[in-house]
Amino acid sequence: MKNVASLAAAVAIVSALLSGAAADARLGPRLYMLHLNGYVGDPPEGRRERADLRLRAGQTEVRFQVTGATVTSGDILPSTIFNRVRPYRPNFVLRGKRELIERVEHAAPGDHLRIQGGWRPGSRDLLVSSVEALESPSGGAKPPSQPAKP
């Protein structure tokens, strides 16, 4: 009787583990939500940021210096994601609403941005959900151009 109970418990454990693995296989690779803070262009002389990325935004390749990054879903580190896309050029291909992609495509060197999107392992696509202009950490937003005085 004790062997039957042990066998039944083992079968229950194995079936529970297999059903979880089957559910993961059906869902496909996990989508990680990645938040990137940084600026467009080359880093200042002698400075190195968390990551130096190349982003394909529309028809343009944009150099983006990551000053801060977080993953808000899952248990992967931003540095792990950067290491996985590092061998490729561009590192990420931005996908999403045209107006969001154009914000990155038309950003000027020195513009600070927060880019949020989803990334799946094995892909270079970053599924962009938002792009925000940020103030420069050195004291305020980029000054607006002044009209010429007569």
pLDDT beneath 70, residues of the chain: 1-2, 4, 6-12, 14, 16-28, 138-150
Q: What is the pLDDT of residue 144?
A: 40
pLDDT for 9: 67
Phi and psi torsions of 72, nearest 5°: -95, 0
Tokens 């050029």 belong to which residue? 89
pTM: 0.73
8 Å CB contact between 55 and 95: no
- Cβ within 8 Å of residue 128, ≥6 positions away: 94, 95, 96, 97, 100, 101, 104, 115, 116, 117
